[in-house]
C-alpha cells in the first residue's frame, strides 16, 4: 500500500522542474508510505511521477518505485496489492515470456504482465486492489487505472496547463498552479448520501476515476483534453448474467463459498510484514477471522474497540468469538474524549466532505491494530454482496405489500410515521425486546421507522432504494445554489433490466456506489492515516463473481440476511455467539451532539457563520438543530453532514 502522485505537462517540460513538483505532491502522502520515497521524470513527455512506499512485499530495493521495465518501455507508480501475482508469474513463464525477475514484488509482475498482455489484458487478469499510473514510452501514453471496486482511490484533473493525479486530493493541492472551485453539485450529492459519489469530487473539474476502469492520455493531445474512462470489467454484467444462471444446490453453494473465501484469505495473507484482522464479532469479520485461523500455524492477531455506551459496544461480542477461535485478541474501550479528539483531524484525513460517522471508530481500531501489525484483513463488503443490510431483508417484501395501496393512503401512512419522534419508538422497542425472537429485535428502532416512512412514500422501487440510502431526501433545498447530477453508479443502474430481482437490484446498487464511495474510502483514509494496509477478502474477484450467481433465497431467509455466509461461519463458530440484531460500526452521535459536541456544533452551525460561508441556507439548518437539541427529532446524521462540510470548508477554504 502506498501513495502515488504526478503530473503530465502537455508539450513537455524540464526534468528537474517536473521531478520537483511530483516530489512535493507525493510528500503530502507520507502517511500512506512512510518507509521510502521515489521519483521519476521524463521532460520530453512532460511527465513527473512521485511515490511514497509502505513496504509490504519485497522489502528490498528491488521493490522500490517508480519502477521501470527492464526494456525501458514502461514506467509505473503503483498503489495496492495484486494478490494473484505469483500465479501470473507462473503464467508468464509458461507462456514463453520467461521474464528475468529481479525481485518478488507484485509491481514487477504488473510491468511484465502489461508488456505481455497489454493494459486491458493485464487488468482483466489482476485480482487485487490497486490504483496506478503507467507511462508507455513506445505508445507515448499515460494510463491511469483503478481496481474493480475502487478499493484504492485515484483523483485526476487539470491544474493550470498540467494534468495532475494522486491518491488523495491533498496531493493535487500541492501543485503550484492549483486553483480549485467548489462544485455545488458535488456538495448537493454529499448532503444526500454523506459521501460524494464518483466521478464527482468536491472540486469542479477534478474527478474520481470510476472503479474497474482506466483512462489513457496521449502525450501529443491538446492540453485539457479529457478522454472518457474505459471499463475493463462490469459488476452489473456479472449480476445480470448470474441471475440468469443461478446456483441451485445449497450444499454445493456453502462448500464453494467456504473454498473461495479460504483461497481469498490465503492470497491476502501474503505479506513480508506482520498481519492481523479486525474483529467486531459480527457475521462478516468473524467469518474472515475463522478462515484465517483455520489456515494459520499460530494465533491470528485480532483487534476491536468498544464504547462505554452499551448499545454501541461490540467489544464483548468480539471477545467471545476471539476466545472460541483462539486468536491473540486485543480490545480497547474508548471513552468519548478519545473519540472526540479524532474529529479535528477528519477534514485533512478525507480531503473532501465525508460524513459516515463510523469514520471515527474505524480510525481508532486502525490505530490500535497499527501498534502490532502493518496489514489487517477486514470483513467489509459481505453485506453488499450477500444481502446483509436491514433494507435487504424487508425492502422488497414491504414494497410488494404496499404496491396495491392507493397513493393517498400510502402518503398518509408515511406522514404518520414521519411525525413520530424516534424516542418513544426506541422505548417501545426496548420494552418489547425481552419477549421478541432474535430475528425481530431491531437496534435504533426509531431510525428504522423513519426509513420505513421514506419507503412507504416512494412511487417506484428504485425511488424507494434512493430514499432509503438518502440522509437528505431533498438536498438541493438546503445547499445554496444546490443542484443534483447523475453519478457513475446511476448510469450503471439505468442499464439494469427491470426484471432483475429486487434484492439483486438493491445489493448491486449498494455495491456500485455505497460500497465504493463510502465504505472503501472510509476504510482507506482511516487506516492509511496511520500507515496501515487493509485488505478485503470478500472483494476477491472469484468471490464477487460467485456471489452474483447466488440466488436471493440463499442470501435472505427467515427474516435474516447473509444466510449463505452464516452457514459457512457456523462450521467454525456456534450460532449462539454471532446471531444477534444487525448493527453498524457506529458512535452515539445523537447523544454526543446533545452533550459533549453541543458547543462545537452550535458554533459551526451558527446562522451568521452559515451565511458568511455560503454553503447552506441558515433556516433549515437552524430548524434541524433546534429539533435535535430539544429531543423532538433525531437529526444527528443530517447535522453531521452539515458539520463535516463546515469543518472541511474551514480547513480547505480559509478566508
* Paired strand residues for 130: 80
Name the strand (E) or helix (H) holding 534: strand 533-535
Residue 447 confidence (pLDDT) above 80: no
Superfamily covering domain 2-233? Aminohydrolase, N-terminal nucleophile (Ntn) domain (3.60.20.10)
Q: What is the pLDDT of residues 317-356, one digit of tens each?
A: 999 999 999 999 999 988 888 888 999 999 999 999 999 9
C-alpha–C-alpha distance, residues 336 and 355, integer Å: 18
d(CA 187, CA 211): 21
511 pLDDT band, cuts 50/70/90, is very high
Question: Span 115-142, mean pLDDT?
Answer: 97
Helix (H/G/I), strand (E/B), else coil: 653? coil
**Residue pLDDT, tens place only, 92-121:** 999 887 788 988 899 999 999 999 999 999
pLDDT (0 to 100) of residue 420: 66
Give the pLDDT score at 632.
81
Distances (CA, A) of 593 to 398, 469, 509, 649: 33, 22, 31, 20
Which helix or strand (DSSP H or E) is residue 6 part of? strand 2-9
What pLDDT score was predicted for residue 63? 81
Q: Which residues contact 107 (CB under 8 A, 6 or more apart)?
A: 63, 65, 67, 76, 78
- Segment among 144-153, 246-255, 440-449, 608-617 with least mean pLDDT: 440-449
pLDDT recorded at residue 424: 65
Which whole number is the average pLDDT over 606-610?
Answer: 96
Q: What angle in degrees, to the nearest 10, is found between the helix axes of 422-432 and 445-456? A: 120
433 pLDDT above the threshold of 70: no
Question: Cβ–Cβ contacts within 10 Å for residue 560, how many?
Answer: 18
Q: How many CA atoms lie within 13 A of 360 on its CB side?
A: 23
Q: Which residue has the higher pLDDT, 431 or 284?
A: 284
pTM above the 0.75 mark? yes
The overall average pLDDT reported for the chain is 91
Q: What is the CATH number of domain 238-386+513-578?
A: 3.40.50.620
C-alpha 302/C-alpha 286 separation (Å) is: 10
What residue spans in the chain does CATH classification 3.60.20.10 cover?
2-233
Whether 479 contacts 202, CB under 8 Å: no
pLDDT value of residue 510: 97
pLDDT value at 473 more than 60: yes
Residues carrying CATH 3.40.50.620, the chain:
238-386+513-578
Relative to beta strand 141-146, strand 213-218 is antiparallel
When pLDDT is cut at 50, 70 and 90, the band that residue 443 belongs to is: low
| Stretch among 75-84, 89-98, 316-325, 452-461 having the lowest mean pLDDT | 452-461
For the cut 80, the answer to whether the pLDDT of residue 313 exceeds it is: no
Given this model, what pLDDT does residue 437 score? 58
pLDDT tens digits for range 10-21: 999 999 999 999
**pLDDT-derived band of residue 312, with 50, 70 and 90 as boundaries?**
low
What mean pLDDT is predicted for residues 138-143? 97
**Around 415, how many Cα atoms within 13 Å sit in the side-chain half-sphere?**
6
Least confident stretch, 151-160, 481-490, 574-583: 574-583
Question: What's the CA gap between 51 and 20, in Å, rounded?
Answer: 12
Amino acid at each position: 500500500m502506498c501513495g502515488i502522485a504526478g503530473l503530465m505537462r502537455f508539450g513537455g517540460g524540464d526534468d528537474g522542474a517536473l521531478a520537483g513538483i511530483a516530489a512535493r505532491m507525493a510528500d503530502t502522502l507520507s502517511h500512506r508510505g512512510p518507509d521510502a520515497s521515489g521519483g521519476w521524470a521524463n521532460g520530453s513527455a512532460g511527465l513527473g511521477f512521485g511515490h511514497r512506499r509502505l513496504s509490504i512485499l519485497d522489502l528490498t530495493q528491488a521493490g522500490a518505485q517508480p519502477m521501470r521495465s527492464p526494456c525501458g518501455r514502461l514506467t509505473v507508480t503503483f498503489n495496492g496489492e495484486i494478490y494473484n501475482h505469483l500465479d501470473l508469474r507462473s503464467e508468464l513463464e509458461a507462456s514463453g515470456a520467461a521474464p528475468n525477475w529481479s525481485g518478488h514484488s507484485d509491481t514487477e509482475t504488473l510491468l511484465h504482465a502489461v508488456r505481455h498482455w497489454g493494459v486491458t489484458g493485464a487488468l482483466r487478469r489482476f485480482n487485487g486492489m490497486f490504483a496506478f499510473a503507467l507511462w508507455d514510452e513506445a505508445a507515448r501514453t499515460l494510463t491511469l487505472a483503478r481496481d474493480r471496486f475502487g478499493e484504492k482511490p485515484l483523483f485526476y484533473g487539470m491544474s493550470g496547463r498540467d494534468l495532475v493525479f494522486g491518491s488523495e486530493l491533498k496531493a493535487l493541492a500541492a501543485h503550484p498552479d492549483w486553483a480549485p472551485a467548489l462544485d455545488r453539485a458535488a456538495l448537493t450529492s454529499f448532503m444526500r448520501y454523506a459521501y460524494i459519489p464518483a466521478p464527482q469530487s468536491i472540486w469542479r473539474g477534478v474527478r474520481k476515476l470510476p472503479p474497474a476502469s482506466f483512462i489513457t492520455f496521449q502525450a501529443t493531445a491538446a492540453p485539457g483534453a479529457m478522454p472518457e474512462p474505459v471499463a475493463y470489467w462490469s459488476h452489473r454484467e456479472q449480476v445480470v448474467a448470474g441471475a440468469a444462471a443461478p446456483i441451485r444446490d445449497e450444499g454445493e453453494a456453502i462448500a464453494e463459498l467456504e473454498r473461495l473465501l479460504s483461497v481469498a484469505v490465503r492470497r491476502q495473507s501474503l505479506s513480508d510484514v506482520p498481519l492481523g484482522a479486525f474483529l467486531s464479532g459480527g457475521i462478516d469479520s468473524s467469518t474472515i477471522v475463522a478462515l484465517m485461523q483455520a489456515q494459520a500455524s499460530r494465533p491470528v492477531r485480532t483487534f476491536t474497540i468498544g464504547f462505554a455506551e452499551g448499545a454501541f459496544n461490540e467489544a464483548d461480542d468480539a471477545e467471545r468469538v476471539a476466545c472460541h477461535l483462539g486468536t491473540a485478541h486485543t480490545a480497547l474501550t474508548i471513552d468519548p474524549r478519545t473519540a472526540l479528539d479524532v474529529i479535528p483531524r477528519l477534514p485533512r484525513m478525507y480531503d473532501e466532505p465525508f460524513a459516515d460517522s463510523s469514520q471515527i471508530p474505524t480510525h481508532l481500531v486502525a490505530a490500535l491494530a497499527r501498534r502490532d501489525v502493518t496489514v489487517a484483513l477486514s470483513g467489509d463488503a459481505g453485506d453488499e454482496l450477500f444481502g446483509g443490510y436491514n433494507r435487504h431483508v424487508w425492502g422488497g417484501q414491504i414494497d410488494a405489500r404496499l404496491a396495491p395501496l392507493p397513493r393517498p393512503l400510502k402518503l398518509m401512512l408515511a406522514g404518520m410515521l414521519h411525525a413520530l419522534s424516534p424516542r418513544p419508538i426506541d422505548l417501545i422497542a426496548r420494552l418489547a425486546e425481552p419477549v421478541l425472537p432474535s430475528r425481530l429485535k431491531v437496534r435504533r428502532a426509531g431510525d428504522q421507522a423513519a426509513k420505513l416512512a421514506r419507503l412507504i412514500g416512494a412511487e417506484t422501487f428504485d425511488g424507494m432504494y434512493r430514499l432509503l440510502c438518502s440522509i437528505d431526501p431533498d438536498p438541493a433545498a438546503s445547499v445554496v445554489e444546490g443542484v443534483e447530477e447523475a453519478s457513475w453508479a446511476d448510469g450503471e443502474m439505468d442499464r439494469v433490466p427491470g426484471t432483475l430481482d429486487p434484492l439483486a437490484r438493491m445489493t448491486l446498487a449498494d455495491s456500485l456506489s455505497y460500497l465504493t464511495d463510502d465504505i472503501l474510502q472510509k476504510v482507506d483514509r482511516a487506516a492509511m492515516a496511520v500507515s496501515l494496509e487493509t485488505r478485503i477478502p470478500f472483494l476477491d474477484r472469484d468471490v464477487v463473481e460467485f456471489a452474483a450467481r447466488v440466488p436471493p433465497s440463499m442470501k435472505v431467509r427467515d427474516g435474516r440476511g447473509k444466510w449463505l455466509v452464516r452457514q459457512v461461519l457456523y462450521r467454525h463458530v456456534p450460532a449462539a455467539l454471532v446471531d444477534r440484531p444487525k448493527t453498524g460500526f457506529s458512535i452515539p452521535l445523537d447523544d454526543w451532539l446533545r452533550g459533549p459536541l453541543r458547543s462545537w456544533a452550535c458554533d459551526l452551525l451558527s446562522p451568521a457563520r452559515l451565511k458568511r460561508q455560503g454553503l447552506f441556507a441558515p433556516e433549515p439548518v437552524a430548524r434541524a438543530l433546534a429539533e435535535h437539541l430539544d429531543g423532538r427529532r433525531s437529526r444527528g446524521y443530517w447535522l453531521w453532514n452539515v458539520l463535516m462540510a463546515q469543518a472541511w470548508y474551514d480547513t480547505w477554504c480559509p478566508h
